[in-house]
Structure formats: structure tokens, C-alpha cells
């Protein structure tokens, strides 16, 4: 889609904020340390057409005020050796772009099938530049011919996780609407050090430190990384979700203490369909990688609205053959097993491991999602992230709630997100990126294998 950039602004906090260096936690520096994209579309409203204030001015002004509270996001990150990053709180500001397009919102028809065209509506970040030059937050407001707009946002995963990023977005919108801040973020970059308990568990129980599996017969994932990928957004109705739950939560099996959740049954189903579409052999080892929010899993829990990364990357493992041939509840149990391991001790022991490494770079995705280095959860593995309990909808900057919110573009094989349906009707969306050669089969199994 053709988009014309009209203007680009650097927005700094209105008032002076803390200046100094924060050491980032180890979790800030492993996995994806690039920016996470999201996109929001808004219909034109008569009220706004008549308004004397421009949307971009509202966004700029509220952004400069919200950055007083979220000042780490107005800073920059820089390398400090050993593949480690630190955060410079220097108020250099965030980037806001004003753009326009000759298209109308009605041209999108179904937003979910158009994710490829979102690329020009979300700010571009040039990772070839020195990392210290890159803003941690970038926004792009694009106005369409019909008066509708879209806001594409990218936020650095090296500084905040999904919960913290959404807190920032919600408070930005609140100030834009003319309301006061609801809750300031809790900023303590040393939180994981203050409570640091050394070497509680032996490291060999930490499956998440193992490199992802390779295809049987291969000694690396180089060939798999190079294959072309495509993205699909698939829908599960409430009935589909209930069928998956019913099939996994068989009453006669009383060994499970509580029924498998939506995340457990849906990710088990996705894992199974991916193994089938990729035509794995029975003995193929496979990992399912996922993020666990630890805010309430550590003791004491992290303070409310802690700003930073509080997610641990965990792994469930199995042989593909078992996943493909055994009932879905077998795969749910593998996932539940992995989730339940992550208690207070496990979390501190995980942090302890990352702290002990002299070099974190092999564990980082720094060059964007098509990186040839860093962790790769493509074939024969999969990474399924839950946004099911994240407050992703209802972002109102004063011109009404969005008519569509989406995860932006993801182009790495095996990258998968589970989102709640936007109507709060019990439906679920699955945004998945797979190799082009596997996508059609995946979609077929995804719907055919739902028990009736
Ligand atoms: N928030 C929390 N729990 C809710 C909820 C809400 N808004 N609404 C309902 N629940 C209840 C439900 O019973 C739900 O079960 P259901 O999905 O079958 O209806 C259950 O809590 C979910 O509990 P949860 O602890 O979230 O377990 P899970 O099995 O669904 O998910 C994880 C497991 C590991 C994915 C989840 O614990 C987690 O950490 N999610 C956060 C991921 C995250 O931060 N993603 C962004 C990464 S940047």
C-alpha cells in the first residue's frame, strides 16, 4: 500500500526526567530484543471532522506528558560488552510519524487477510543503524481518504514486555482523552537483583536453556531459516474452543487437578497441526516455546504495573509422533507440565543462569525476525505466545475505540500468537507464520481436526 510520509517528529517528555544509566535485566536482553509491532484502525467520526484540534497534535501533546511517567521509554539502549545492553535514560524522545494514504478503510474489507499491507502503516526501524540511535517507541498515524486513521506502533522488547507496553498505550490514550493518569508504572531496574537468590536449583533441569531442536537428519536449522514464509490469521469460534476443551478435559481422567485452559488446549492443537503439516517423522523431537508472565509467580509478587520484562521463556517438549497420534490431552499435559515447573525457585534459578553467562549474544534476535542468528523456533519447533489475558482492545485516544486491532507483521517460521476475539464472544484468533509450503496443510488440519 502506498503511504506518503508528511512529517516526522521526535517527542520528548514535557518535564525534565531522571537522567542516568539503568542496567537492564537479563530477561530484557534475551530472545526478541527488537521492536514489537501492533496496529489500531479507527473510523472517522463527525465530531472529529468538525474538531479544531488535529489528531497528530493530540497524540504529540499526550505522548510528551505520558513520557514523564514512562521516561525509560524516551531513552536509548546501548551495548556494553558481553552481548549485554544498558538503558540510557536521556530523554532523547520517541518518534511519531504523520502519514496519509489514498486508500479508504473500506478498501481493507477484511483486515485479518491484509496483514501484509500493514508494513507501510507501521514505522520502519533500521536495525543496520547503531542500536543507540534507535528510538524505543515509534508511532505512525496514517490518515485515509475516508477520514479514518490507523496508528501503527513499535515498542522495544528490550525494555518492556506485552503487559508493560499495553500499560503505556492505555495511559497514553487516557491522557489524550483528557483524563488523568490512572496508575504510574513501577520503575525499579534492579528488582531482579534485590531479590536474587543464588543457585537454588541445578541447571540441568532447565529445558529452556537447550537449543531448539533440529529436523531429524540435520545438524543445523540454516536451511529451515531460509525458506519463504507466509502469515495467516485463523478464527476459532466459541464452539470450536469448547470442543477442544471438551476433548481434552475428559471427566473420567481425574489425575488433572483443574481443567486444561484455553491456552493449553489451543496451543496443543496448533502444535499438533504444525507437526502434521510439516510431515514430521514419529521420532522427531519438537519444542513448543512460550512466554510465562512471572509477575504473580515470584514471591512476593512484583509490584502492580512493574515496568519492564517479567516474562520467562519456557519450553514444552515431545516427540512429534506422540503429539500426532495420541489424544490432545497428552499434548495439553506436556504444556501444563512445563507451565507448572515455573515457580519462585525456578524463576530465580533461570535468572541466575543468564547472569552467569559471559556472553548473551547467541540468545538474542537483534537483526530483525529474519535473523540468521539467535533462537529460531521454526520447523520442527513452534513458539506460541498468549495474548489471551492481555488488555489489547479498547484503545480510545478520544476518537472512539478502534474498529480493528492486530499484531502487525510477523515473518519468522513458527511464530504464533493467540488473541481473544474482539467481540468478547468467546471466540479466539490465531495469528501464525509458517513456511509457505506448510500453510495450506496447516489450515486444513486446523479446522478438520477440531472434534465435533
Ligand atoms: N486474566 C487472567 N485469567 C483469566 C482471565 C483474565 N482476564 N480471564 C479468565 N481467566 C481465568 C480463566 O479461567 C482462564 O482459563 P480459560 O482460558 O480456560 O478460560 C485462566 O484464568 C487462565 O489462566 P492462566 O494462568 O492465564 O493460564 P493459561 O493456561 O491460560 O496460560 C500462560 C498460561 C503461561 C500463557 C499464562 O499464564 C501467561 O503467562 N500469560 C501471559 C503471557 C504474556 O505475557 N504474553 C505477552 C508476552 S510479551
Q: What is the DSSP string of 40-55?
A: EEE---HHHHH-SS-H
3-state secondary structure of 121: helix
- In the set 107, 293, 396, 449, the catalytic residue is 396
- Report how far residue 254's alpha carbon sits from residue 267's, in angstroms, rounded to the nearest whole number: 22
Binning the chain into helix, strand and coil, the percentages to the nearest 5 are: 35, 25, 45
Lowest mean pLDDT among 11-25, 40-54, 215-229, 311-325: 40-54
- In the set 28, 35, 157, 269, the catalytic residue is 157
| Residue 313: C-alpha distances to residues 191, 316, 350, 361, 389 (Å) | 18, 10, 10, 16, 17
pLDDT of residue 299: 87
Check if 4-193 and 217-448 are the same fold.
yes
- Report how far residue 198's alpha carbon sits from residue 193's, in angstroms, rounded to the nearest whole number: 10
Asked if residue 204 has pLDDT above 70, the reply is no
Q: CB within 6 Å of ligand 1 — which residues? A: 161-163, 261-264, 290-293, 311, 339, 385-390
All cell numbers assigned to 5 = 510520509
Of 41-45, 109-113, 350-354, 367-371, give the range with the top mean pLDDT.
Answer: 41-45
Nearest to 432, CA basis, from 228, 213, 234, 212: 234
56 alpha carbon to ligand 1 midpoint, in Å? 35
Ligand 1, atom 1, lies closest to the CA of: 389
426 alpha carbon to ligand 1 midpoint, in Å? 14
Asked if residue 191 has pLDDT above 70, the reply is yes
Q: What are the pLDDT digits (tens) for 230-259? A: 999 999 999 999 999 999 998 666 566 799
Atom of ligand 1 nearest to the CA of 261: 18
CB environment 366-387: b (16+ within 10 A), e (fewer): beebebeebbbbbbbbbbbbbb
Atom of ligand 1 nearest to the CA of 245: 18
Torsion of CA 306, 312, 313, 319, to 10 degrees: -140
| Active site (annotated) includes residue 157 | yes
448 alpha carbon to ligand 1 midpoint, in Å? 26
| Active site (annotated) includes residue 396 | yes
Ligand 1, atom 47, lies closest to the CA of: 162
Percentage of residues in the chain with pLDDT exceeding 90?
Answer: 70
Cβ(320)–Cβ(253) below 8 Å = no
- Residue ranges covered by each domain of the chain: 4-193, 217-448
- Report how far residue 444's alpha carbon sits from residue 440's, in angstroms, rounded to the nearest whole number: 6
Q: pLDDT band at residue 82, thresholds of 50, 70 and 90?
A: confident
Percentage of residues in the chain with pLDDT exceeding 70?
Answer: 93
Atom of ligand 1 nearest to the CA of 259: 18
| Residue 267: C-alpha distances to residues 15, 255, 385 (Å) | 45, 21, 9
Q: What are phi and psi of 195, to 5 degrees?
A: -105, 15
Strands 31-32 vs 364-365: parallel, antiparallel or unpaired: parallel
3-state secondary structure of 94: strand
Residues 6+ apart with CB under 8 A from 440: none
59 alpha carbon to ligand 1 midpoint, in Å? 31
pTM confidence score: 0.93
For domain 217-448, is the CATH number 3.30.559.10?
Answer: yes
Q: pLDDT band at residue 146, thresholds of 50, 70 and 90?
A: very high
- Report how far residue 345's alpha carbon sits from residue 201's, in angstroms, rounded to the nearest whole number: 7
Ligand 1, atom 4, lies closest to the CA of: 389
pLDDT of residue 425: 94
Cβ(349)–Cβ(200) below 8 Å = yes
Nearest to 371, CA basis, from 152, 128, 19, 9: 128
Ligand 1, atom 46, lies closest to the CA of: 162
Ligand 1, atom 28, lies closest to the CA of: 263
* CATH class of the region 4-193: alpha beta
Amino acid at each position: 500500500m502506498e503511504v506518503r510520509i508528511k512529517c516526522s517528529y521526535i517527542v520528548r517528555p514535557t518535564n525534565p526526567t531522571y537522567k542516568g544509566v539503568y542496567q537492564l535485566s537479563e530477561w530484557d536482553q534475551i530472545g526478541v530484543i527488537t521492536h514489537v509491532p501492533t496496529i489500531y484502525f479507527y473510523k472517522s467520526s463527525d465530531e472529529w471532522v468538525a474538531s479544531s484540534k488535529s489528531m497528530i497534535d493530540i497524540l504529540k501533546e499526550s505522548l510528551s506528558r505520558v513520557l514523564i511517567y514512562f521516561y525509560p521509554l524516551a531513552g536509548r539502549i546501548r551495548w556494553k560488552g558481553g552481548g549485554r545492553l544498558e538503558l540510557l535514560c536521556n530523554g532523547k524522545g520517541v518518534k511519531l510519524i504523520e502519514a496519509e494514504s489514498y486508500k479508504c478503510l473500506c478498501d481493507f474489507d477484511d483486515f485479518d487477510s491484509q496483514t501484509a499491507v500493514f508494513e507501510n502503516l507501521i514505522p520502519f526501524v533500521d536495525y543496520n543503524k547503531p542500536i543507540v540511535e534507535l528510538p524505543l517507541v515509534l508511532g505512525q498515524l496514517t490518515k485515509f481518504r475516508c477520514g479514518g486513521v490507523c496508528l501503527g506502533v513499535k515498542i522495544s522488547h528490550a525494555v518492556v514486555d506485552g503487559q508493560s507496553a499495553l500499560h503505556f498505550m492505555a495511559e497514553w490514550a487516557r491522557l489524550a482523552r483528557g483524563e488523568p493518569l490512572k496508575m504510574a508504572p513501577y520503575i525499579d531496574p534492579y528488582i531482579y537483583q534485590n531479590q536474587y537468590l543464588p543457585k537454588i536449583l541445578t541447571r540441568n533441569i532447565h529445558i529452556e536453556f537447550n537449543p531448539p531442536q533440529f529436523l531429524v537428519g540435520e545438524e543445523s536449522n540454516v536451511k529451515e531459516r531460509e525458506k519463504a514464509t507466509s502469515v495467516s490469521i485463523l478464527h476459532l469460534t466459541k464452539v470450536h474452543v469448547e470442543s477442544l476443551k471438551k476433548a481434552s478435559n475428559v471427566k473420567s481422567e481425574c489425575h488433572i487437578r483443574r481443567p486444561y485452559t484455553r491456552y493449553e488446549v489451543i496451543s496443543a492443537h496448533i502444535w499438533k497441526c504444525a507437526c502434521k503439516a510439516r510431515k514430521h517423522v514419529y521420532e522427531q523431537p519438537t519444542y513448543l516455546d512460550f512466554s510465562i508472565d512471572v509477575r504473580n509467580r515470584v514471591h512476593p509478587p512484583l509490584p502492580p504495573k512493574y515496568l519492564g520484562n517479567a516474562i520467562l521463556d519456557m519450553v514444552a517438549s515431545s516427540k512429534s509422533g506422540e503429539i500426532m497420534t495420541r489424544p490432545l490431552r497428552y499434548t495439553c499435559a506436556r504444556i501444563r507440565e512445563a507451565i507448572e515447573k515455573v515457580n519462585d525457585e525456578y524463576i530465580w534459578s533461570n535468572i541466575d543462569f543468564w547472569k552467569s553467562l559471559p556472553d548473551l549474544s547467541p540468545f538474542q534476535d537483534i537483526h530483525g525476525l529474519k535473523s540468521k542468528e539467535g533462537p529460531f523456533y521454526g520447523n520442527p519447533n513452534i513458539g506460541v505466545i498468549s495474548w489471551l489475558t492481555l488488555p489489547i482492545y479498547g484503545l480510545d485516544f478520544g476518537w472512539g475505540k478502534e474498529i480493528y486491532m492486530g499484531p502487525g507483521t510477523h515473518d519468522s517460521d513458527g511464530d504464533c500468537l493467540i488473541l481473544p476475539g474482539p467481540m468478547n464472544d468467546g471466540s479466539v484468533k490465531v495469528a501464525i507464520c509458517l513456511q509457505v509450503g506448510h500453510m495450506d496443510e496447516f489450515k486444513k488440519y486446523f479446522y478438520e481436526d477440531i472434534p465435533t
